[in-house]
Structure 1
Amino acid sequence: MATVAEFTLSSERFPLGTIFAKLPDVTVYLERVIPDANGTVPYFWVRGTQTDSILEQFSEHPGVRDIRLVDSIGDEYLMRCQWVAEHDGVLDALLDPEVVLLSAIGTTQEWTFEIRGESRESIAKFRQYCHDHDVPITLTELHALRPLEAQNDLTEKQRDALILAFNRGYFDTPRRATLQEVADEFGISQQALASRLRRGNRRLIQNALIESSP
Protein backbone atom coordinates (compact mmCIF):
# COMPACT_ATOMS: atom_id res chain seq x y z
CA MET A 1 0.00 0.00 0.00
CA ALA A 2 1.20 3.51 -0.82
CA THR A 3 2.77 5.17 2.23
CA VAL A 4 3.45 8.79 3.16
CA ALA A 5 6.48 9.67 5.29
CA GLU A 6 7.63 12.92 6.82
CA PHE A 7 11.24 13.40 7.85
CA THR A 8 13.62 16.17 8.82
CA LEU A 9 17.23 16.88 7.94
CA SER A 10 19.59 19.48 9.31
CA SER A 11 20.08 22.34 6.85
CA GLU A 12 23.84 22.00 7.08
CA ARG A 13 23.55 18.42 5.79
CA PHE A 14 21.33 19.28 2.82
CA PRO A 15 22.87 20.82 -0.33
CA LEU A 16 20.34 23.63 -0.65
CA GLY A 17 20.85 24.45 3.01
CA THR A 18 24.09 26.25 2.16
CA ILE A 19 22.06 29.32 1.21
CA PHE A 20 21.40 29.96 4.90
CA ALA A 21 25.08 30.54 5.70
CA LYS A 22 24.87 34.18 4.63
CA LEU A 23 21.10 34.56 4.12
CA PRO A 24 19.61 33.28 7.41
CA ASP A 25 16.23 34.96 6.94
CA VAL A 26 15.21 33.27 3.70
CA THR A 27 12.79 30.36 3.30
CA VAL A 28 13.34 27.75 0.59
CA TYR A 29 10.77 25.38 -0.93
CA LEU A 30 12.06 22.48 -2.99
CA GLU A 31 9.76 22.18 -6.02
CA ARG A 32 11.10 19.06 -7.73
CA VAL A 33 14.29 17.18 -8.56
CA ILE A 34 15.12 15.80 -11.99
CA PRO A 35 18.03 13.57 -13.08
CA ASP A 36 20.87 14.82 -15.27
CA ALA A 37 23.82 13.10 -16.90
CA ASN A 38 26.22 15.10 -14.72
CA GLY A 39 24.29 15.09 -11.44
CA THR A 40 20.86 16.24 -10.27
CA VAL A 41 18.89 19.38 -11.10
CA PRO A 42 16.74 20.76 -8.28
CA TYR A 43 14.09 23.42 -8.86
CA PHE A 44 13.39 25.49 -5.76
CA TRP A 45 11.59 28.64 -4.62
CA VAL A 46 13.43 31.20 -2.48
CA ARG A 47 11.62 33.85 -0.45
CA GLY A 48 13.08 36.64 1.68
CA THR A 49 15.96 38.00 -0.41
CA GLN A 50 16.89 39.23 -3.89
CA THR A 51 17.95 37.25 -6.94
CA ASP A 52 21.51 38.60 -6.97
CA SER A 53 22.04 37.44 -3.39
CA ILE A 54 20.80 33.94 -4.22
CA LEU A 55 23.07 33.65 -7.26
CA GLU A 56 26.05 34.96 -5.32
CA GLN A 57 25.52 32.59 -2.41
CA PHE A 58 25.20 29.44 -4.52
CA SER A 59 27.95 30.41 -6.98
CA GLU A 60 30.44 29.99 -4.14
CA HIS A 61 29.46 26.35 -3.53
CA PRO A 62 31.74 23.76 -5.22
CA GLY A 63 28.78 21.48 -5.93
CA VAL A 64 26.73 23.99 -7.93
CA ARG A 65 26.84 24.33 -11.70
CA ASP A 66 24.80 26.65 -13.93
CA ILE A 67 22.37 28.23 -11.45
CA ARG A 68 19.72 30.45 -13.03
CA LEU A 69 16.42 32.22 -12.42
CA VAL A 70 13.43 30.41 -13.97
CA ASP A 71 10.51 32.55 -12.81
CA SER A 72 9.40 35.00 -10.12
CA ILE A 73 6.14 35.85 -8.39
CA GLY A 74 6.27 38.89 -6.16
CA ASP A 75 9.17 38.39 -3.77
CA GLU A 76 9.50 34.66 -4.49
CA TYR A 77 12.00 33.34 -7.04
CA LEU A 78 12.02 29.97 -8.77
CA MET A 79 15.61 28.85 -9.31
CA ARG A 80 17.25 25.84 -10.93
CA CYS A 81 20.81 24.61 -10.78
CA GLN A 82 22.87 21.56 -11.57
CA TRP A 83 24.23 19.80 -8.51
CA VAL A 84 27.26 17.62 -9.20
CA ALA A 85 27.10 14.02 -8.05
CA GLU A 86 29.54 14.14 -5.15
CA HIS A 87 27.45 16.80 -3.44
CA ASP A 88 23.99 15.33 -4.05
CA GLY A 89 23.18 13.79 -0.67
CA VAL A 90 19.44 13.40 -0.21
CA LEU A 91 18.78 14.94 -3.64
CA ASP A 92 19.99 11.72 -5.25
CA ALA A 93 17.74 9.64 -2.99
CA LEU A 94 14.74 11.67 -4.13
CA LEU A 95 15.32 10.51 -7.71
CA ASP A 96 14.15 7.00 -6.80
CA PRO A 97 11.18 6.27 -9.13
CA GLU A 98 9.37 4.55 -6.24
CA VAL A 99 9.37 7.79 -4.23
CA VAL A 100 7.45 11.01 -4.99
CA LEU A 101 8.38 14.31 -3.37
CA LEU A 102 5.21 15.95 -2.01
CA SER A 103 6.75 18.92 -0.21
CA ALA A 104 10.03 20.19 1.21
CA ILE A 105 10.57 23.41 3.13
CA GLY A 106 13.80 24.65 4.66
CA THR A 107 14.92 27.39 7.00
CA THR A 108 18.17 28.11 8.76
CA GLN A 109 17.96 25.13 11.14
CA GLU A 110 16.39 22.22 9.28
CA TRP A 111 14.41 20.94 6.32
CA THR A 112 11.09 19.12 6.57
CA PHE A 113 10.20 16.72 3.75
CA GLU A 114 7.05 14.82 2.89
CA ILE A 115 7.36 11.95 0.42
CA ARG A 116 5.05 9.25 -0.91
CA GLY A 117 6.34 5.75 -1.54
CA GLU A 118 4.69 2.97 -3.53
CA SER A 119 4.81 0.89 -0.36
CA ARG A 120 6.36 0.77 3.10
CA GLU A 121 9.18 -1.16 1.48
CA SER A 122 9.83 1.83 -0.81
CA ILE A 123 10.12 4.11 2.22
CA ALA A 124 12.38 1.59 3.94
CA LYS A 125 14.57 1.45 0.83
CA PHE A 126 14.76 5.26 0.80
CA ARG A 127 15.77 5.37 4.46
CA GLN A 128 18.38 2.66 3.92
CA TYR A 129 19.87 4.60 1.01
CA CYS A 130 20.16 7.70 3.21
CA HIS A 131 21.77 5.65 5.97
CA ASP A 132 24.26 4.04 3.58
CA HIS A 133 25.23 7.44 2.15
CA ASP A 134 25.57 9.19 5.52
CA VAL A 135 22.45 11.35 5.15
CA PRO A 136 21.12 11.64 8.74
CA ILE A 137 17.36 11.98 8.21
CA THR A 138 14.95 11.75 11.16
CA LEU A 139 11.57 10.13 10.48
CA THR A 140 8.78 12.11 12.19
CA GLU A 141 5.61 10.64 10.66
CA LEU A 142 4.64 7.53 8.69
CA HIS A 143 1.16 6.49 7.58
CA ALA A 144 -0.58 4.57 4.82
CA LEU A 145 -2.18 6.60 2.06
CA ARG A 146 -5.93 6.73 2.59
CA PRO A 147 -8.54 5.79 0.00
CA LEU A 148 -8.91 8.04 -3.03
CA GLU A 149 -11.99 9.83 -1.76
CA ALA A 150 -10.17 10.78 1.44
CA GLN A 151 -6.73 11.67 0.09
CA ASN A 152 -7.39 15.39 0.26
CA ASP A 153 -8.63 15.35 3.87
CA LEU A 154 -6.38 16.99 6.41
CA THR A 155 -4.33 14.95 8.83
CA GLU A 156 -5.00 15.58 12.50
CA LYS A 157 -1.71 17.47 12.85
CA GLN A 158 -2.47 19.68 9.84
CA ARG A 159 -5.99 20.41 11.07
CA ASP A 160 -4.78 21.31 14.58
CA ALA A 161 -2.04 23.55 13.15
CA LEU A 162 -4.43 25.44 10.88
CA ILE A 163 -7.05 25.91 13.61
CA LEU A 164 -4.58 27.14 16.22
CA ALA A 165 -2.85 29.47 13.74
CA PHE A 166 -6.25 30.87 12.75
CA ASN A 167 -7.39 31.32 16.36
CA ARG A 168 -4.14 33.04 17.35
CA GLY A 169 -4.42 35.49 14.46
CA TYR A 170 -1.51 34.22 12.37
CA PHE A 171 -3.56 34.69 9.19
CA ASP A 172 -4.82 38.16 10.16
CA THR A 173 -3.53 41.38 8.59
CA PRO A 174 -1.62 42.60 10.46
CA ARG A 175 -0.72 39.32 12.14
CA ARG A 176 -1.51 38.98 15.83
CA ALA A 177 0.85 36.04 16.29
CA THR A 178 4.10 34.99 14.67
CA LEU A 179 4.89 31.58 13.25
CA GLN A 180 7.34 31.02 16.10
CA GLU A 181 4.74 31.86 18.75
CA VAL A 182 2.28 29.34 17.31
CA ALA A 183 5.04 26.74 16.95
CA ASP A 184 6.00 27.22 20.60
CA GLU A 185 2.47 26.27 21.67
CA PHE A 186 2.84 22.97 19.83
CA GLY A 187 6.36 22.43 21.11
CA ILE A 188 7.70 22.03 17.57
CA SER A 189 10.12 23.98 15.40
CA GLN A 190 9.03 26.94 13.28
CA GLN A 191 9.89 25.10 10.07
CA ALA A 192 7.89 22.02 11.11
CA LEU A 193 4.82 24.19 11.68
CA ALA A 194 5.36 26.03 8.40
CA SER A 195 5.46 22.68 6.61
CA ARG A 196 2.19 21.53 8.23
CA LEU A 197 0.45 24.78 7.33
CA ARG A 198 1.70 24.66 3.76
CA ARG A 199 0.61 21.05 3.23
CA GLY A 200 -2.72 21.67 4.95
CA ASN A 201 -3.46 24.71 2.81
CA ARG A 202 -2.53 22.78 -0.31
CA ARG A 203 -4.96 20.01 0.56
CA LEU A 204 -7.73 22.47 1.39
CA ILE A 205 -7.28 24.27 -1.93
CA GLN A 206 -7.18 21.02 -3.87
CA ASN A 207 -10.26 19.69 -2.13
CA ALA A 208 -12.30 22.91 -2.26
CA LEU A 209 -11.27 24.42 -5.58
CA ILE A 210 -9.64 21.80 -7.76
CA GLU A 211 -11.56 18.56 -7.13
CA SER A 212 -14.91 20.37 -6.88
CA SER A 213 -14.49 22.40 -10.09
CA PRO A 214 -16.54 21.24 -13.11
Structure 2
Amino acid sequence: MATVMEFTSPVAEFPLGSVFENLPGVTVELERLIPHETLIIPYFWVRGADTDDMEAAFEPHAGVSNIRLIDSIEDEYLMRAEWEQEYFGILSALAEANVVVLSGTGTKEEWRFEVRGESQETLAAFREYCQENDIPIAITAVHAMLPIQGEGYELTETQREALVLAYERGYFDSPREASLQEIADEIGITQQSLSSRLRRGHHRLIGATLSSTS
Protein backbone atom coordinates (compact mmCIF):
# COMPACT_ATOMS: atom_id res chain seq x y z
CA MET A 1 0.00 0.00 0.00
CA ALA A 2 1.23 3.49 -0.85
CA THR A 3 2.56 5.18 2.28
CA VAL A 4 3.33 8.80 3.10
CA MET A 5 6.16 9.90 5.34
CA GLU A 6 6.53 13.38 6.78
CA PHE A 7 9.91 14.56 8.01
CA THR A 8 11.97 17.63 8.73
CA SER A 9 15.56 18.40 7.81
CA PRO A 10 17.95 21.18 8.85
CA VAL A 11 18.10 24.15 6.51
CA ALA A 12 21.78 23.58 5.71
CA GLU A 13 21.11 20.03 4.46
CA PHE A 14 19.10 21.21 1.46
CA PRO A 15 20.82 23.27 -1.27
CA LEU A 16 17.91 25.67 -1.62
CA GLY A 17 18.36 26.50 2.05
CA SER A 18 21.33 28.71 1.24
CA VAL A 19 18.94 31.51 0.33
CA PHE A 20 17.97 31.98 3.98
CA GLU A 21 21.45 33.17 4.88
CA ASN A 22 20.92 36.41 2.97
CA LEU A 23 17.11 36.46 2.78
CA PRO A 24 15.83 35.13 6.14
CA GLY A 25 12.25 36.23 5.51
CA VAL A 26 11.58 34.19 2.37
CA THR A 27 9.70 30.91 2.01
CA VAL A 28 10.80 28.31 -0.55
CA GLU A 29 8.44 25.62 -1.78
CA LEU A 30 9.72 22.74 -3.86
CA GLU A 31 7.59 22.11 -6.95
CA ARG A 32 9.33 19.06 -8.44
CA LEU A 33 12.73 17.40 -8.95
CA ILE A 34 14.06 16.18 -12.28
CA PRO A 35 17.22 14.03 -12.31
CA HIS A 36 19.09 14.62 -15.60
CA GLU A 37 22.39 12.87 -16.37
CA THR A 38 24.88 14.39 -13.90
CA LEU A 39 22.49 17.12 -12.73
CA ILE A 40 19.48 17.44 -10.47
CA ILE A 41 17.03 20.10 -11.63
CA PRO A 42 14.66 21.42 -8.94
CA TYR A 43 11.77 23.73 -9.73
CA PHE A 44 10.68 25.79 -6.75
CA TRP A 45 8.51 28.73 -5.73
CA VAL A 46 10.00 31.59 -3.73
CA ARG A 47 7.95 34.14 -1.77
CA GLY A 48 9.07 37.27 0.00
CA ALA A 49 11.96 38.53 -2.14
CA ASP A 50 12.78 40.14 -5.48
CA THR A 51 14.05 37.93 -8.31
CA ASP A 52 17.39 39.74 -8.50
CA ASP A 53 17.98 39.11 -4.81
CA MET A 54 17.06 35.44 -5.18
CA GLU A 55 19.39 34.77 -8.09
CA ALA A 56 22.25 36.48 -6.27
CA ALA A 57 21.54 34.47 -3.10
CA PHE A 58 21.57 31.10 -4.84
CA GLU A 59 24.41 31.53 -7.34
CA PRO A 60 27.34 31.26 -4.86
CA HIS A 61 26.14 27.88 -3.59
CA ALA A 62 28.55 24.99 -4.20
CA GLY A 63 27.35 22.76 -7.01
CA VAL A 64 24.89 25.16 -8.63
CA SER A 65 25.55 25.69 -12.33
CA ASN A 66 22.49 27.62 -13.45
CA ILE A 67 19.44 29.33 -11.97
CA ARG A 68 16.74 31.34 -13.66
CA LEU A 69 13.22 32.69 -13.34
CA ILE A 70 10.54 30.62 -15.08
CA ASP A 71 7.27 32.32 -14.11
CA SER A 72 5.71 34.64 -11.57
CA ILE A 73 2.25 35.04 -10.03
CA GLU A 74 1.84 38.24 -8.06
CA ASP A 75 4.62 38.07 -5.43
CA GLU A 76 5.47 34.38 -5.98
CA TYR A 77 8.29 33.37 -8.33
CA LEU A 78 8.88 30.00 -9.96
CA MET A 79 12.61 29.33 -10.28
CA ARG A 80 14.60 26.61 -12.04
CA ALA A 81 18.04 25.56 -10.90
CA GLU A 82 20.65 23.01 -11.88
CA TRP A 83 22.70 21.26 -9.21
CA GLU A 84 25.53 18.83 -9.79
CA GLN A 85 24.35 15.42 -8.65
CA GLU A 86 27.55 14.78 -6.71
CA TYR A 87 26.44 17.39 -4.16
CA PHE A 88 25.62 15.39 -1.05
CA GLY A 89 22.47 16.22 0.87
CA ILE A 90 18.76 15.61 1.06
CA LEU A 91 18.39 16.75 -2.57
CA SER A 92 20.46 13.77 -3.74
CA ALA A 93 18.53 11.42 -1.45
CA LEU A 94 15.21 12.56 -2.87
CA ALA A 95 16.46 12.24 -6.42
CA GLU A 96 18.04 8.81 -5.92
CA ALA A 97 15.23 7.20 -3.91
CA ASN A 98 12.11 5.73 -5.44
CA VAL A 99 9.84 8.21 -3.65
CA VAL A 100 7.52 10.96 -4.88
CA VAL A 101 7.89 14.38 -3.29
CA LEU A 102 4.38 15.53 -2.38
CA SER A 103 5.51 18.75 -0.74
CA GLY A 104 8.65 20.45 0.48
CA THR A 105 8.57 23.82 2.19
CA GLY A 106 11.56 25.63 3.65
CA THR A 107 11.96 28.58 5.99
CA LYS A 108 14.95 29.84 7.95
CA GLU A 109 14.03 27.38 10.74
CA GLU A 110 13.84 24.08 8.81
CA TRP A 111 12.58 22.14 5.80
CA ARG A 112 9.37 20.12 6.00
CA PHE A 113 8.73 17.33 3.50
CA GLU A 114 5.99 14.90 2.58
CA VAL A 115 7.09 11.98 0.38
CA ARG A 116 5.17 9.01 -0.94
CA GLY A 117 6.53 5.51 -1.36
CA GLU A 118 4.78 2.58 -3.02
CA SER A 119 5.29 0.64 0.20
CA GLN A 120 6.81 0.94 3.65
CA GLU A 121 9.84 -0.91 2.28
CA THR A 122 10.42 1.94 -0.20
CA LEU A 123 10.42 4.48 2.61
CA ALA A 124 12.67 2.24 4.69
CA ALA A 125 15.18 2.23 1.81
CA PHE A 126 15.02 6.03 1.70
CA ARG A 127 15.71 6.25 5.45
CA GLU A 128 18.60 3.81 5.07
CA TYR A 129 20.08 5.92 2.26
CA CYS A 130 19.95 8.99 4.49
CA GLN A 131 21.58 7.14 7.38
CA GLU A 132 24.36 5.70 5.25
CA ASN A 133 25.19 9.13 3.82
CA ASP A 134 24.88 11.06 7.11
CA ILE A 135 21.86 13.06 5.94
CA PRO A 136 19.90 14.06 9.07
CA ILE A 137 16.13 13.75 8.89
CA ALA A 138 13.57 13.70 11.71
CA ILE A 139 10.48 11.65 10.88
CA THR A 140 7.31 13.26 12.23
CA ALA A 141 4.59 11.00 10.78
CA VAL A 142 4.05 7.89 8.64
CA HIS A 143 0.61 6.97 7.33
CA ALA A 144 -1.16 5.27 4.45
CA MET A 145 -2.71 7.14 1.55
CA LEU A 146 -6.46 7.51 1.99
CA PRO A 147 -8.94 6.71 -0.80
CA ILE A 148 -11.77 9.27 -0.90
CA GLN A 149 -15.21 7.63 -0.86
CA GLY A 150 -14.09 4.64 -2.87
CA GLU A 151 -12.96 6.63 -5.88
CA GLY A 152 -9.78 5.84 -7.78
CA TYR A 153 -7.81 8.78 -6.44
CA GLU A 154 -6.17 9.53 -3.12
CA LEU A 155 -5.23 12.38 -0.81
CA THR A 156 -2.73 12.39 1.99
CA GLU A 157 -4.20 12.66 5.47
CA THR A 158 -2.78 16.17 5.82
CA GLN A 159 -4.26 17.30 2.48
CA ARG A 160 -7.66 15.89 3.40
CA GLU A 161 -7.52 17.49 6.85
CA ALA A 162 -6.66 20.89 5.36
CA LEU A 163 -9.37 20.75 2.67
CA VAL A 164 -12.11 19.56 5.01
CA LEU A 165 -11.29 22.05 7.76
CA ALA A 166 -11.07 24.93 5.27
CA TYR A 167 -14.49 23.93 3.91
CA GLU A 168 -16.07 23.54 7.35
CA ARG A 169 -14.69 26.87 8.59
CA GLY A 170 -16.03 28.73 5.56
CA TYR A 171 -12.72 29.53 3.87
CA PHE A 172 -14.22 28.81 0.45
CA ASP A 173 -17.38 30.85 1.13
CA SER A 174 -17.93 34.31 -0.31
CA PRO A 175 -17.32 36.33 1.73
CA ARG A 176 -14.85 34.13 3.60
CA GLU A 177 -15.73 33.25 7.17
CA ALA A 178 -12.18 32.23 8.10
CA SER A 179 -8.75 33.32 6.98
CA LEU A 180 -5.88 31.13 5.88
CA GLN A 181 -3.95 32.13 9.01
CA GLU A 182 -6.84 31.19 11.32
CA ILE A 183 -7.09 27.71 9.80
CA ALA A 184 -3.32 27.26 9.87
CA ASP A 185 -3.29 28.20 13.57
CA GLU A 186 -6.02 25.63 14.28
CA ILE A 187 -4.06 22.85 12.59
CA GLY A 188 -0.79 24.02 14.10
CA ILE A 189 1.17 24.72 10.92
CA THR A 190 2.37 27.82 9.09
CA GLN A 191 0.19 29.71 6.65
CA GLN A 192 2.60 28.78 3.85
CA SER A 193 2.35 25.07 4.68
CA LEU A 194 -1.44 25.23 4.68
CA SER A 195 -1.46 27.05 1.34
CA SER A 196 0.75 24.30 -0.09
CA ARG A 197 -1.52 21.53 1.22
CA LEU A 198 -4.64 23.17 -0.19
CA ARG A 199 -3.04 23.74 -3.59
CA ARG A 200 -1.73 20.18 -3.86
CA GLY A 201 -5.03 18.76 -2.62
CA HIS A 202 -6.92 20.77 -5.24
CA HIS A 203 -4.48 19.59 -7.90
CA ARG A 204 -5.04 15.92 -7.02
CA LEU A 205 -8.83 16.25 -6.82
CA ILE A 206 -9.15 18.15 -10.09
CA GLY A 207 -6.77 15.78 -11.84
CA ALA A 208 -8.83 12.80 -10.73
CA THR A 209 -12.31 14.20 -11.35
CA LEU A 210 -12.28 16.89 -14.04
CA SER A 211 -9.13 16.64 -16.14
CA SER A 212 -9.21 14.51 -19.28
CA THR A 213 -5.48 13.84 -18.88
CA SER A 214 -5.80 12.05 -15.54
Question: Is TM (by shorter chain) over 0.5?
Answer: yes
For 1:13, the equivalent position in structure 2 comes to 13
Letter matched to residue 113 of structure 1:
F
Letter matched to residue 161 of structure 1:
A
* Cα 1:163/1:33, change in 2 over 3 Å: closer
* Cα 1:93/1:47, change in 2 over 3 Å: same
8 Å contact from structure 2 (residues 145, 156) kept in 1:
no
1:143-199 Cα shifts (integer Å, max 9, x gaps): 334569545344454333234345556567897765444333223444543443333
Once residues 138 and 198 of structure 1 are traced to their aligned partners in structure 2, the CA distance between those partners, rounded to angstroms, is: 25
For 2:199, the equivalent position in structure 1 comes to 198
Once residues 159 and 99 of structure 1 are traced to their aligned partners in structure 2, the CA distance between those partners, rounded to angstroms, is: 20
* Cα 1:155/1:98, change in 2 over 3 Å: closer
Structure 1 position 36, deviation (Å): 4.1
Tell me which moved more, 136-145 or 148-157: 148-157
For 1:33, the equivalent position in structure 2 comes to 33
For 1:72, the equivalent position in structure 2 comes to 72
* Cα 1:127/1:73, change in 2 over 3 Å: same
Once residues 161 and 73 of structure 1 are traced to their aligned partners in structure 2, the CA distance between those partners, rounded to angstroms, is: 23
Once residues 119 and 2 of structure 1 are traced to their aligned partners in structure 2, the CA distance between those partners, rounded to angstroms, is: 5
Aligned pair count reads 213
Structure 2 unaligned spans of 5+: none
Letter matched to residue 159 of structure 2:
Q
For 1:107, the equivalent position in structure 2 comes to 107
Once residues 128 and 134 of structure 1 are traced to their aligned partners in structure 2, the CA distance between those partners, rounded to angstroms, is: 10
Tell me which moved more, 145-154 or 100-109: 145-154
TM-score when scaled to structure 1? 0.78
Letter matched to residue 75 of structure 1:
D
The alignment yields a C-alpha RMSD, in angstroms, of: 3.3
Secondary structure of the residue that 1:210 maps to in structure 2?
Answer: coil
Within a 5 Å distance, the mapping from 1:1-214 to structure 2 comes to: 1-85=1-85, 87-96=87-96, 98-145=98-145, 150=151, 152-166=153-167, 179-210=180-211
Once residues 180 and 88 of structure 2 are traced to their aligned partners in structure 1, the CA distance between those partners, rounded to angstroms, is: 30
Structure 1 unaligned spans of 5+: none
Once residues 96 and 168 of structure 2 are traced to their aligned partners in structure 1, the CA distance between those partners, rounded to angstroms, is: 40
TM-score when scaled to structure 2? 0.78
8 Å contact from structure 2 (residues 45, 78) kept in 1:
yes
Structure 1 position 101, deviation (Å): 2.1
Letter matched to residue 18 of structure 1:
S
8 Å contact from structure 2 (residues 145, 157) kept in 1:
no
Letter matched to residue 206 of structure 1:
G
Structure 1 position 126, deviation (Å): 0.4
Tell me which moved more, 72-81 or 48-57: 72-81
Once residues 184 and 29 of structure 1 are traced to their aligned partners in structure 2, the CA distance between those partners, rounded to angstroms, is: 19
8 Å contact from structure 2 (residues 97, 125) kept in 1:
no
Once residues 19 and 174 of structure 2 are traced to their aligned partners in structure 1, the CA distance between those partners, rounded to angstroms, is: 29
Secondary structure of the residue that 1:130 maps to in structure 2?
Answer: helix
